[in-house]
Structure 1
């Protein structure tokens, strides 16, 4: 393909958006790189050559203004990153295009299942996947065995996730909004925690990469690429059952010698840049697949390679 693209990343101010910006700046597919966020108090404005502040999703003019922006700047590809935006697009079936620009998101079933933690559990159970037992908090009168995990049904990342050891703690954290919480079986991380990049093309080609990771301040601060045929097989089955097209992140822990899926994040994840540096270029593959191009393949044997999350300062 000779044509280079005008690419827009929305919700670009967070760590995922900034990682995508760093990848796209070096991509041969990028002609002009644009970023929009609801605030300019983040480092994205130093990464995206064309950065601007946009409207919040709750603004009734949001979609109209975004369409106008894509037209005014001849945007070819839009990549939404912020979960409120992705939820909005999913719920309103705006997943193909905005104006004349093509959109890149995970496919509709992956978004629907992944953005609702209770639906995730229901899906995994119905499809026969190993998963931690999960209940609606509002349906619970007593908890027989502690600890358990309390998490927002619609939350993202590590926000609103609590390890609960008593009924008093359960009642404290759910006192204001019990409707939005699920209670999940606690799985110890003594056998490790795994975060997995999972990509499936529109033609059904599946690619995955597994990190055994450690969380630091809620993020994947350290990790190692591993090979695990059981997890790989599980991921491939998941991609098919989800009717996945695009890239998602799957998190697992091992219990009773079986990997159990406890989270499906239907978007690019915070490890997208690490994966890219290891040859798992799911952002680039997503662009190629959306344009109907043959997928590139720079994967290599990186089992045992490690990543470390660092920080970078910007001064203006």
Structure 2
């Protein structure tokens, strides 16, 4: 088996080093090049090589990225941050020769996921039941319409950032003034114990297997802290309907809450999500699927899945002055 040169960006954060973790679970011969803007990124210790990256909004980011791809003869690029994924997706028409080496979803799914209002509008237009959403209004109007507390959410945000719980008019005025961009206002639905993160892998207009769903609780940073593998036919049916509408390509993540007996979509992520290392431990290895689909250009093999629970906890990486590590 020939060696595959893989680049993983954002290896200092949970998605990036989660992808590296998943890659290490495969039996393939891999040379993993990690990249992050921070020189002390923890994921570098799990990679074969490390490069300090430029920020995604830098003028020369794209030139930098494609130079790395050429110099290291990269076969496949995984994006561990949404900022990089969106920057590259927006420029995909300028770099057609590189597209086969990048783990990118369809342009439609990627563009929709950038803007929560566009996602909401698209789903409404196609008859999908959505969370009650408003663009504006006074506090009295919104609280009467949506109830208290309600959610103020930036239209363009990621990783649970830019989401604020509004309990009273003081909260509303404060967060509205602090908002760094346009926002939407939504009803608070469900509860923390009935939140679900679902992974699918799109290929040839369909999915390779039924959705892999975790019921989860979030950490304070917005990533999965505790999870349980679940199989819920009604939720699977909802996801299958979304797949038919969106026709995603590659790894795609849907997040839901159960509210009054219905599974309501919170957001769509056109990428591998922060739960990827947990999924890989149960047999659903998105990184390996990406190699099969993007790098090897073949049908993704059906995974053998296991059931169970997962808990994340804080661990240590120690670097001694004599360069040994534990």
TM-score, normalised on structure 2? Answer: 0.89
Which structure's residues are more often helix, by fraction? 2
Name whichever of 201-210 and 288-297 sits farther off.
201-210
> For the Cα contact (< 8 Å) 1:130–1:259, is it kept in 2?
no
Distance in 2 of aligned mates of 1:125 and 1:159: 24
> For the Cα contact (< 8 Å) 2:153–2:184, is it kept in 1?
yes
> For the Cα contact (< 8 Å) 1:70–1:99, is it kept in 2?
no
Aligned counterpart, 2:258: 254
SS class of match (1:175) = helix
Alpha carbons of structure 1 residues 174 and 98: separation in structure 2 relative to 1, 3 Å = farther
Aligned counterpart, 2:322: none
Aligned counterpart, 1:4: 3
> For the Cα contact (< 8 Å) 1:76–1:100, is it kept in 2?
no
Distance in 2 of aligned mates of 1:190 and 1:62: 38
Q: Deviations over 1:258-280 (max 9, x none)?
A: 11111112211111011111111
> For the Cα contact (< 8 Å) 2:190–2:260, is it kept in 1?
no
Q: CA RMSD in A?
A: 2.0
Aligned counterpart, 2:219: 216
Which runs of no fewer than 5 residues in structure 1 stay unpaired? none
Name whichever of 140-149 and 119-128 sits farther off.
140-149
> For the Cα contact (< 8 Å) 1:191–1:254, is it kept in 2?
no
Alpha carbons of structure 1 residues 203 and 166: separation in structure 2 relative to 1, 3 Å = closer
Aligned counterpart, 1:124: 123
Which runs of no fewer than 5 residues in structure 2 stay unpaired? 320-326
SS class of match (2:101) = strand
Aligned counterpart, 1:186: 188
> For the Cα contact (< 8 Å) 1:248–1:268, is it kept in 2?
yes
> For the Cα contact (< 8 Å) 1:8–1:36, is it kept in 2?
yes
The count of aligned residue pairs is 311
Distance in 2 of aligned mates of 1:30 and 1:115: 35
Aligned counterpart, 1:300: 305
2:272 aligned with 1:268: yes
2:283 aligned with 1:279: yes
> For the Cα contact (< 8 Å) 1:78–1:101, is it kept in 2?
no
Aligned counterpart, 1:134: 133
> For the Cα contact (< 8 Å) 2:196–2:256, is it kept in 1?
yes
Aligned counterpart, 1:240: 244
Cα shift at 1:184 = 1.0
SS class of match (1:174) = helix
TM-score, normalised on structure 1? Answer: 0.92
Q: Deviations over 1:104-135 (max 9, x none)?
A: 12221111111211111112211222220122
SS class of match (2:83) = helix
1:1-316 map, 5 Å = 2-93=1-92, 99=98, 102-136=101-135, 139-141=136-138, 142-143=141-142, 144=144, 145-177=147-179, 179-189=181-191, 192-202=194-204, 204-207=206-209, 208-217=211-220, 218-290=222-294, 291-302=296-307, 305-316=308-319
